[in-house]
Structure 1
Amino acid sequence: MSTNFLVFMIVLVVSELGVAQPSNETTNTNTPLLFFCAGNDAMSATTFFSNRNSTFSQLRSQLSNTGVYYATAQSLVNGDAVYGVAQCRNYLLSSECLACYDASVSVLETCGSANGAHVFMDNCFLRFENYDQFYDDPQGSANSGGLGICGNKSTSQPTTAFNQAVQELLSDIRLATPKTSDFYTASTTLVTNVTVYAIGQCLENITQTICKNCLSTIYQNLSGCLPANEGRAINVACYMRYSEFPFFQNNQTINLIPFLANGSSSKSGLIIGVSSGAGLVLLILAIFLWFQWNKSKAAGKDSSDYQGAQRYAYEDLKLATNNFSEEYLIGKGGFGEVFKAIVDGGIVVAVKKLHVAYVRAKKEFENEVNLISNIRHRNLIRQLGWCIDGPELLLVLEYMPQGGLDKFLWGEKKGTLNWKQRFDIIFGIARGLAHLHGECHVKIIHRDIKSSNILLDNDFQPKIADFGLARLLPEDKTHVSTRFAGTMGYTAPEYATRGYLSEKVDTFSFGIVALEIISGQSCHDVNYSGPRMDYLLEHAWQLYEKGMHMKLIDETINPNEYQEVNAKKIIEIALMCTQSPASLRPTMSEVYLMLSSEPELVQRQMSRPTFIDVDRRIHIGGS
């Protein structure tokens, strides 16, 4: 364990220096809860300050991207290396995250030439050191206790009921957080007539086990705050908070139920048992737009209850796109056209003009966009605003300069993605779908996952587009029969032929996209190498059954970039997602865990899918 960390833990345990008592009058302030400066100075102040400023600048640049809440950076020029890590709470807007980060930088700059420092805020955490071990091995930090910071007022609610309800909420947060895709949860509980808000968060670079151990430790610290009406618990690897005062929006909660089921935390159990229908709750879709509209209307809500979505004037968007002219057109799809535009004095956005046939959809559309706009995740396109004033319904979206994944697989940029980039894209799509299905405040089935709906940022990280146009289902529904809406080739057979829609429809589509990423081929392409003309899915299954997985891999990828055992594992996960019947497919949270794990998949017999060509003809049945 480093000297700096020992100094830090001594400060946590025995010193009040640098600790600010939280005020009951404010819920989110960018003032330090705790900070410290290391006792050792840098060797060269000039070099150190240059490296520190460079690291701070890199961290800020990463956090400025929508949906990014965790960043690491380093500057190693001429000695006096500076390694940094920053993390914001996931309920924040990007601007709020940056405001907290900037305040944290100002605090740490008061440490002068100290070669390490930390600061904890309600909204964020910032740390820099002159060594990098804390990136990869924070186990010692996670197991070394923490600090509880309790409010200075007791709850006005009955003490016994308050203590019991908050402890149960915090316990659920403690258990669920390590099982989510980004180590973050937010939830509420009602005590008499007061809502209690709570979150849990771990550093994203740690393992599930370290996160679990860390939260278990600080849970004890936080429980000791009761019956105070608010409290925080801090450790360098994790953070928990509860409060009677709202510090995130009611529609930013995460459904904890899927993560509290017995056995759902076992990666090995998921890998071995997925073919027996693992996944306890199917998170599916609802009647188009109006279910949540009726729900919010009954609760007396309107658009002012939501943050993050801006209502734009039709004339402003028309002007920004030069009357939706061809020169601004950047894409077309089943839902409408997409145009590049500059709004709000210089922000580059994408404006999507939707094809909606009935006027009644306008109010439903407004309520739905308000709801969806609060979903923030690194692998989901952010919906910034909307417009219903003109003849079309318009969405204002985050702009992605690299465009669609399909361009990099078989379009004009074919062959430019290396193996690591392809794996990161597969992993990111899985993480985004796991969030849509089980972690955000509404349960969303996308219905149209395909390569052209996966957009790439400048770092080739994927973001799922058009998820706001998906259907929603209330929690007590496991599936719904509905009119088909999707893209043949990517669509699960039970949905294409019978309209049977569940979250496993997205799982199937994910499997197809993963096969496309691995092979560099479109699912609509016909393989002519064998005695039959087979589409990609059938060709992939034939290779798998012959033990010839590696022949599926795109020939433009350098074989030295990947290990055969890992490549075979990813192919098998993709095929597992296409099995029939749907109950054999894993949930996306299970897929995410399988992709996160190191061991090879357990060998077992998988069930072939029902093959359907692009004309909806069934030509081979699954077993």
Structure 2
Amino acid sequence: MLLQTVVLFLAITLSSSYDTGFNYSSFHGANLNLTGVSEVIPSGALQLTNNSQPVIGHAFYPNLLQFKNSSKGNAFSFSTAFVFAITRPIVSPGSGFAFVISPSTQFEGANSTQYLGLFNLTGNGDPENQVFAVEFDTTQNIDVGDIDGNHVGIDLNSVRSNVSASAAYYLTEDHKITKHNLSLKSEDPIQVWIEYDGTEKLLNITLSPIRIPGRTGPPLISSRVDLSPILQKYMYVGFSASTGIVASYQYILGWSFMINGRAQNLDSSDLPWYPRSKSIKGLSMVSKIGISLSSIILAIAAISVILYLVWKRTDGEIAEDWELANGPHRFSYKEIFMATKGFHEEELIGFGGFGKVYKGVMRDSGLQVAVKQVAHESEERVREFVAEISSIGKLQHRNLVRLIGWCKQKTKLIIIYEYMPHGSLDKYLFHEDGPPLSWKQRHKILKGVASALLYLHEQWEQVVIHRDVKASNVLLDAEMNARLGDFGLARLYEHGSNSQTTRVVGTIGYLAPEMSLTGKATTETDVFAYGAVLLEVASGRRPISPQRLQKQVILVDWVWECFKNGKLLDVADPRLEGCFEIEEMTMVLWLGLWCSHPVPDARPSMRQVYQYLNRDVPFPEISATKLAAPGMENFHYLAPHASSHTELSICSAGTEILLSGGR
């Protein structure tokens, strides 16, 4: 009994030796770890940088905080709230600051300007950094992929943000949500809430002017991100800031933080005063002229530098309008050439009608990437290239392949993706040279693809139709999670409106029958293609197999016959050797038939499909009569006897139909 009491006492003592949160409405007397030029000014405001250039300022809470139960465990939830202000000299300010969680308060060799006092050229992107940051950047730097000169970004071991958005806030008024732009360098106080849900792996970042009490709308950024690989058991929290060739004052006026809880909101009436930049109203005419001339000269110099950097970044090629509109995530051809060892054949990992895909390693970060060379025979290919960049480049979901950047030089069109070490799903389903996927893995993959399509159809700001859902476009990451990729055929439209696409593209075996008549791609046509994937994964067979017995050539027809005859499980992949949950297998095959229904309106939505797969709603009793509908007895794919790798051109009802199996 005594031993148990001692153990309990030690456990309580040890667990209480680490703080779980704090609250500063002023930094007077705060025992912060300040390095560089950071200081607490007499008013009680924390000043990260001064009007010098280039300088770095760090300010960290002095005690370690516990973010995990163990080094390999899941990261805890946490929340922070702070108010900042950036004041400037008469010309515009440079660089910005970041909220940081780091294993150390020392950043040896860190540079200022675009590296925000956290990293340098060689260390930026190193997974050994173990640094999570949210940046508030007031300049656009092409080298690190900044989207503009007024943005917020999520940084993981690098200042090349994983997710970023132009600074703004949302208001809910009269049951409507409106978006309002917000200038980080307005000199006015801005309040920030950063909240991480360790269970959902969801990070929310919300901004608002101080004049608006509390949060009145959705977050500016809401992103699925697992911080467990980044955060160690014990970490420091704080701020890092820097200036460049133009300086600014950066202030933190108040700050609260909480582990496994919600950080306290800050009362604006308790926050300290901070100095704003001087007005030029009282200056003499001579001073005004001098300032104006200086500003003009500086502006000309800055523009010249930017133009030179853009020219250098694009290898001397003038950027086109669409490139500027789609953001700065652009690499030089030299970088990509070196990453792929000169596009060496040994680095080739895939090819098709679109071109070739190479594995590469980015020299500045060590990041493994997949480099897709897009065949550039026509303006059509350029449009697909632009579509892929502008669509997937803005999408953020754990089951989508992340676009890293792109490169364009003359006729060379290149897209750089996150590398997926396990390749595509079809390799595991149809190639006999490796171990088969277990049923647990298959079910997880199907849920991942369903989650991605639900996000595209309903949860993003626009409706995204993928138009090429198939097993070869489902890629598998290091943990065998499904990532839907290849957005070259994707189309976007506003919620509540209708798709205007009339040019049918896709792959035989995955194309909905109505596309030959209407020519329109819809969310229902994506559902149809996903139905084919469901049946593929369950049966281990392609949608069309000309070499099989006649009754088994069209997979969905064969599954339908087996279903009607009460022998549905006969189509289960024999390589599974019966090692599957009968209820789950039955549900997947039934969902595959339902998604493949010849009547578009009779198909389920991706939300319904995901709810069934995730067991969010009960699985209903099923029967052939319940699924059957007029037209089902004549249900067949387009060109049922064509090989799935044959490229066809068909004209029907005045609509051009391009079918290919090589994308």
For the aligned pair, the TM-score class normalised by the smaller chain equals 0.5 to 0.7
Distance 1:552 1:572 in 2: 12
Cα deviation 1:330-371 (Å, max 9, x = unaligned): 112332221222333443221111134445975995686256
Q: Alignment partner of 1:501: what SS?
A: coil
1:573 aligns with 2:594: no
2:440 alignment partner, SS class: helix
Give the Cα–Cα distance (whole angstroms) in 2 for the partners of residues 311 and 597 of structure 1: 43
Instruction: Say whether residues 1:400 and 2:420 are aligned partners.
Output: yes
Aligned to 1:388: 408
Give the residue type in structure 1 aligned to 2:583. V
Task: Give the superposition deviation at 1:199.
Answer: 5.7
Is 1:547 the equivalent of 2:537? no
1:241: Cα distance to partner?
9.8
- Are 2:639 and 1:615 equivalent residues in the alignment? yes
Which residue of the partner structure matches residue 627 of structure 2?
Answer: 606
- Which residue does the alignment assign to 1:335? 354
CA RMSD of aligned residues (A): 5.6
Q: Which of 514, 527, 530 does residue 494 from structure 1 map onto?
A: 514
Is 2:475 the partner of 1:485? no
Structure 2 counterpart of 1:377, one-letter code: H
- 2:544/2:554 contact within 8 Å kept: yes
Mapped partners of 2:637, 2:380: distance in 1: 35
TM-score, with normalisation over the residues of structure 1?
0.55
Which of residues 501, 504, 508 in structure 1 aligns to 2:528? Answer: 508
Deviation by residue 1:272-324 (Cα, 9 ceiling, x = unmatched): xxxxxxxxxxxxxxxxxxxxxxxxxxxx99749847x23332x4434544554
Verify: 1:557 aligned to 2:576, yes or no: yes
Is 2:583 the partner of 1:593? no
Structure 2: distance between partners of 1:239 and 1:526: 62
Query: Offset at 1:546?
Result: 2.6
How far did 1:592 drift? 1.6
Count of aligned pairs between the two proteins = 436
Structure exhibiting the larger radius of gyration computed from Cα positions: 2
Correspondence for 1:584 among 602, 610, 615: 602
Q: What is the rounded CA distance, in whole Å, between the counterparts of 1:334 and 1:371 in structure 2?
A: 20
C-alpha separation in 1, matches of 2:75 and 2:327: 30
For residues 255-294 of structure 1, the aligned pairs below 5 Å read none
Aligned-pair CA distance for 1:242 = 12
1:551 aligned partner, one-letter code: D
Contact 1:569–1:601 under 8 Å retained in 2 = yes
Match of 2:396 in 1: 376
**Residue 470 (1) aligns with residue 490 (2):** yes
Q: Secondary structure of 1:379's partner?
A: coil
When the two structures are superposed, what TM-score results if normalisation uses the length of structure 2? 0.52
Q: Secondary structure at the match of 1:431?
A: helix
**Following superposition of structure 1 onto structure 2, how do residues 25-36 of structure 1 map, counting pairs within 5 Å?**
none
Q: Say if 1:236 and 1:372 are closer, same or farther in 2 by CA, change over 3 A.
A: same
Provide the C-alpha distance between the structure 1 equivalents of 2:576 and 2:393, rounded to a whole number of angstroms.
Answer: 38
Contact 1:233 / 1:241 at 8 angstroms: preserved in 2?
A: no
For the structure 1 residues 442 and 189, does the alpha-carbon distance in structure 2 shift closer, same or farther, using more than 3 Å as the test?
A: farther
Show CA shifts across 1:405-441 (max 9, x none).
1110111445521111111111111111112222234
Residue 23 to residue 332, structure 1, CA distance change in 2 (3 Å): farther
What amino acid does structure 2 have at the position aligned with 1:389? Q
Correspondent of 2:75 among 85, 109, 112: 85
Determine helix, strand or coil for the equivalent of 1:427.
helix
Structure 1 residue aligned with 2:456, among 432, 436, 439? 436
Native 8 Å contact 1:349 1:397 kept in 2: yes
Maintained 8 Å contact 2:21/2:256: no
Letter in 2 for 1:386: W
Question: 550-559 vs 515-524, which deviates more?
Answer: 550-559
Percent identity, aligned pairs only, is 25
Whether the 8 Å contact between 2:456 and 2:463 is mirrored in structure 1 is yes
Write the distance in 2 (CA, Å) between the matches of 1:408 and 1:416.
6
The whole-number CA distance in structure 2 between the counterparts of 1:409 and 1:301 is 39
Give the 3-state SS of the residue equivalent to 1:532 in structure 2.
Answer: helix
Matched, 1:455 2:475: yes
In 2, distance between residues paired with 1:23 and 1:500? 57
How many Å apart are 1:574 and its aligned residue?
2.2
TM superposition shift of 1:377: 2.0
Structure 1: where are the runs of 5+ without partners?
39-50, 57-72, 74-82, 90-97, 107-120, 125-160, 171-176, 206-228, 245-299, 619-623
1:517-536 to structure 2, matched below 5 A, reads: 517-525=537-545, 532-536=551-555
Say if 2:77 and 2:260, in contact at 8 Å, map to a contact too: no
The residue type paired with residue 350 of structure 1 is A
**Code of the aligned partner of 2:446:** I
Q: Encode CA deviations 1:591-623: one digit per residue, 9 max, x unaligned.
A: 2222111664212512465633462689xxxxx
Unaligned runs of 5+ in 2: 1-7, 25-29, 34-43, 50-57, 80-97, 107-131, 136-168, 179-195, 228-252, 269-320, 643-663
Partner of 1:446: 466
SS of 1:375's partner is: coil
In the aligned structure 1, how far is the partner of 2:548 from the partner of 2:59? 62
Letter in 2 for 1:612: H
Q: Does residue 453 of structure 2 align to residue 418 of structure 1? A: no
SS in 1 for 2:529: helix
Residue 462 of structure 1: how far off its partner (Å): 1.2
CA contact 1:201–1:240 (8 Å) conserved in 2:
no
How far does residue 374 in structure 1 lie from its aligned partner after superposition? 3.5
The answer as to whether partners of 1:340 and 1:350 remain within 8 angstroms in 2 is: yes
**Mapping for residues 187-336 of structure 1, pairs under 5 Å:** 197-198=219-220, 236=260, 303=324, 306=327, 309-313=329-333, 315-321=334-340, 324-336=343-355
Q: More strand by proportion, 1 or 2?
A: 2
Distance 1:333 1:461, change over 3 A: same
Indicate the residue corresponding to 2:5 in structure 1. none
1:237 and 1:576 map into 2 onto residues whose CA distance is 43
Query: Higher mean Cα deviation, 460-469 or 520-529?
Result: 520-529
